[in-house]
Structure 1
Amino acid sequence: MINGKKFHKNTCPILCLGQSNAGHKLGEEWLESDPAERDVEVLVDRRLNMNQQRALAAKRANRIVGYVKHSITSRSKEVIILLYSAVILLYSALVRPHLEFCVQFWAPQFKKDVKVLECIQRRATKLVKRLEGTSYEEQLRTLEKRRLRGNLIVPYSFLRRGSEEGGADLFSLGSSVSMHGNGSKLCQGRFSLDFRKHFFAESVVKHWNRLPREVVDALCLSVFKRHLDNVLNNML
């Protein structure tokens, strides 16, 4: 190196994307290519596959559910009543963050991936008897609704901030001539690869375009969230 320090290539692995990407050199040293790397704490492989991240998030969340389960030593009616609020709080504070962190990036799209998260949700709802009698579909819908809610908040934030702060260029607004409904509809992109339709910027378009005008035209994020919650109660 110019400053006299020795360069250690094993501390700087790279992720090569594409079939024709043979690697890179720094000076005379070839940098090693890793099969997967972390970006903002999200694990992604060279094919932009999120399976490893989904498995890692599920493993961490499932382990915490196990810790909570093993900490419950009594099943008496009085204790269960007290545990209900505590378990819900622990699940929201310790388990859910692993299932929702950057979920727009790695959200499950296939049934086999959704099933992994469903198993964690099912296990958590069995921690207290008060939840065991409710419909599992109803319990799961809460997690699904939270994921959709977060997905819709992201484009609103990007579009409201404008392209100068970045993010807005992920979406393309439709022409004013053809607009119907909410007046701020997004254009669905065209792509040759089928898996591209699962990318966040594409999958969220159909849900955004279904929102009524009073939701997308909200003057601030807090108002948008309030209107969005009312709409989602009827959508799911």
Structure 2
Amino acid sequence: MDSGIECTLSKFADDTKLCGVVNTLEGRDAIQRDLDRLERWACTNRMKFNKAKCKVLHVGWRNPKHDYRLGEEWIESSPKEKDLGVLIDEKLNMSRQCALAAQKANHVLGCIKRGVASRSREVILPLYSALVRPHLEYCIQLWGPQYRRDIELLEASPEEGHEADWRAGAPLL
């Protein structure tokens, strides 16, 4: 057996997920059986899946990337998926998530800069804590930065060239 992680995550609707290890044909068949069972349940209960929203995310090293179907339709494969606001790609690399979080935080900081005349610590710090930090801390236990470049991106001074304006505030992380 290969020691690499091989997993397939199938996402349905907004919150239904099937996951399994697929380093063997039995693993692939188990996921397909679960999909068939899900389709039968939907038919029995006269419910329809929006199959266009169903995706398969193949995760891991040397993943065989099997094809799956829901009913008669093949499920599209996706290189990345966003779930609960967290972007996950097939390599489990969170660099893109870090970039998105920094971008959102800097956008909010720009809005504060344009909309608030005062630069005093008493004004900026509560705004930063309430409006900026949540973008940086949302689900950080899951996507916490691992690479130095991601950490530096999140710790970088907001809107380069305006450091003096934000000296009363706090660094991003």
Question: Normalised by the shorter chain, which TM-score bucket?
Answer: 0.5 to 0.7
- Specify the SS of the correspondent of 1:44: strand
Deviation, 1:64, is 0.2
The equivalent residue for 2:54 is 12
Residue by residue over 1:170-197, the C-alpha shift from the partner in whole angstroms, topping out at 9 and shown as x without a partner, is xxxxxxxxxxxxxxxxxxxxxxxxxxxx
- For 1:14, the aligned partner's letter is V
Please give the alpha-carbon distance, in whole angstroms, between the structure 2 residues aligned to 1:55 and 1:130: 24
> Whose strand proportion is higher, 1 or 2?
2
Task: Name structure 1 gaps, 5 residues minimum.
Answer: 74-78, 132-138, 144-236
| Contact kept in structure 2, 1:84 and 1:128, CA below 8 Å | no
The equivalent residue for 1:49 is 93
Residue by residue over 1:31-78, the C-alpha shift from the partner in whole angstroms, topping out at 9 and shown as x without a partner, is 1111111233211011111122111111111100110111134xxxxx
| Contact kept in structure 1, 2:121 and 2:168, CA below 8 Å | yes
The equivalent residue for 2:125 is 88
* Distance verdict in 2 for CA 1:114–1:46, change over 3 Å: same
Number of aligned residue pairs: give it: 128
Deviation, 1:14, is 2.5
The equivalent residue for 1:116 is 153
The equivalent residue for 2:165 is 127
Please give the alpha-carbon distance, in whole angstroms, between the structure 2 residues aligned to 1:99 and 1:7: 34
Between the aligned residues of both structures, percent identity stands at: 41
The equivalent residue for 1:64 is 108
Please give the alpha-carbon distance, in whole angstroms, between the structure 2 residues aligned to 1:57 and 1:64: 11
TM-score by length of 1: 0.47
Deviation, 1:13, is 1.8
Runs of 4+ off more than 3 Å: 1-8, 120-131
Please give the alpha-carbon distance, in whole angstroms, between the structure 2 residues aligned to 1:43 and 1:129: 31
7-16 or 99-108, larger mean C-alpha shift: 7-16
TM-score by length of 2: 0.62
Task: Name structure 2 gaps, 5 residues minimum.
Answer: 1-42
| Contact kept in structure 1, 2:109 and 2:132, CA below 8 Å | yes
- For 2:101, the aligned partner's letter is A
| Contact kept in structure 2, 1:58 and 1:120, CA below 8 Å | no
Deviation, 1:128, is 4.3
List aligned pairs for 1:144-163, cutoff 5 A.
none
Q: Does 1:39 align with 2:83?
A: yes
| Contact kept in structure 2, 1:58 and 1:116, CA below 8 Å | yes
The equivalent residue for 1:97 is 134
Please give the alpha-carbon distance, in whole angstroms, between the structure 2 residues aligned to 1:46 and 1:94: 31
Deviation, 1:4, is 4.9
* Distance verdict in 2 for CA 1:8–1:34, change over 3 Å: same
Higher relative contact order (CA 8 A, sep 6+): 2
1:21 to 38, 49, 65: 65
